[in-house]
Amino acid sequence: DVVIPKGALTVITGPSGSGKSSLALDILFTEGKRRYMESLSAYARQFLGTAKKPDVDRIEGLCPSIAIEQKTVSSNPRSTVGTITEIYDYLRVLFARIGKVHCPECMQPISAESPDQITARLLTRFAGQTITVAAPYAIQKKGEYTKELLSLFNGGLYRFVIDGTRHRFTSEQQINDLKLQKTKKHSIDILVDSLEVLHEERARLHEAIEKAFKLADGVCKVIVGIEEHLYSSHRMCIACGISVPEIEPRIFSFNSPLGACPECHGLGVVHEWPWSVNDPENWKSDHLFFADKYAKELTCKRCYGRRLNEVALAVTIADKTIYDVCTYSIKDLLVFFNDIRLHEVAQEIGSSLIKEIVERLAFLQGVGLGYLSLNRPAGTLSGGEGQRI
C-alpha cells in the first residue's frame, strides 16, 4: 500500500519511466477529478462528459484534486522522438540532398547523369584508351526484332552486337536471315562509335553519348576491352529495369503516401483479426471497432517494422539508411555525425544541415536523454522524458 499524508508537501521521485507521472496524474488526479464530477448535478455533468476510472484497486481519503499543467507528448502511433524534436525533418532533407541512391531490388548504386557529366568522367577514367559507345536497344527481352533492325539499318546504323555476337550488316537480307526466336530473350546493342579517349576528341565523344541516349531511351553503354559500363540519364537500374523517382524529403516520411510502406501504411505493424472478413462493405468499420480489443499486432512482413517503402530504404549516407540512423541512441548518433566523412560536394551541401542536427542531438544529450533513439515511439515515453523532449 502507498500512504500519502494530508496537509503536507509530498514529492514523488524516481528514475525516468518508473511511474511517477502515472501515479500523480493518471491515478490520483484522475480519480480526484472523477469523484468531484460525480458530486455535481446530472445537468452539469452533461456538459463535462464522463471521467474514466483509473486502473487502480482502491483509493481511500482522496479529496477533489487539481493539477498544474504537465507538458506531455502525443501518444499518436505515428509520433516518434525524431518527429517531435524535428530532427527527423532535418534528416529527411539531408538524405534527399546528399543520399546515395541504390536500386531497391539489387542494391547497386544508380544515378542520373547528363552527357556532359559522362563525357568528363570518361575523359578522366579512360584517358588514352580506345572505347566503344553503344546504345543498349534491348536487354534480355523476347521478340524477333526483324522490323526494328531493318528500320535502324535504313536509318544509317549498320553495326550491332546481338546476343554477344558482333554484326556489320551490309544488306536487308542479312537481317532477315538472322531469324531470332520470338520466344527467347535477346540483348541488342547498337554500336554508335569507336574512338580513342582524348581531350581533342571531346566533341565526338559527347555526340556519341547523346546519340546513344536517343536510341536507347536515355541509356548508354561504354565498352572498354571486355568490360562494359552502363550510364543513364534517368535514375534507373539498367539490370533490373527499375526506375527510381526524383528523391525529395517526402520520400523519407512514413506519414506520407510517397514514403510509407504500402503494406502497413507507415506504422511498421499490421493488425490480424481472429476471424475472416465475409462482408466487404462492413470490413472497415468492423476492423476499426474491434481493433484494440481483438486484433493481434504483428510486425509488417514487407518493411520489417521500418515503416518506409523500398525506395526510401535504398538511399544511404555513409552506408546507413535513414532507418539505420534512427535506431542509434542519441549518444551514438552524435558520434556518427561528428565523425562522418563526406566528399567535397556532399560536405558543402550537407554541412549546415548536419550542424542543425548535431545541435539538437547535443541538447537532448545534455538533458539526460542520450539513451533514447529517434525512432522511439512517443507513446512509450515517460512524463519526464516527454517534458525534456
The answer to whether the CB of 389 falls within 8 A of the CB of 26 is no
Residue 280 has pLDDT above 50, yes or no: no
Q: Who wins on pLDDT, 296 or 294?
A: 296
State the pLDDT at residue 47. Answer: 74
Q: Do 136 and 189 touch, CB atoms closer than 8 A?
A: yes
Report the C-alpha gap between 316 and 330 in whole angstroms.
19
Residue 74, pLDDT > 80, answer no
Is the pTM of the predicted complex or chain greater than 0.85? no
Name the phi and psi angles at 107, rounded to 5: 65, 20
CA distance 263 to 301: 8
CB 113 within 8 Å of CB 181 = no
- In the predicted model, is pLDDT for residue 230 greater than 70? yes
CB burial of residue 200 (10 Å; 0-12, 13-18, 19+): exposed
Task: Give the range with max mean pLDDT: 238-252, 280-294, 328-342.
Answer: 328-342
Radius of gyration of the chain (CA): 32
Q: Is the pLDDT of residue 327 over 80?
A: yes
CB under 8 Å to 54, separation ≥6 — which residues?
A: 26, 27, 30, 31, 34
Segment 271-293 mean pLDDT: 55
Closest by alpha carbon to 377, among 362, 389, 365, 366?
389
Q: Is the pLDDT of residue 325 over 80?
A: yes
Could you tell me the three cell numbers for 102? 541504390
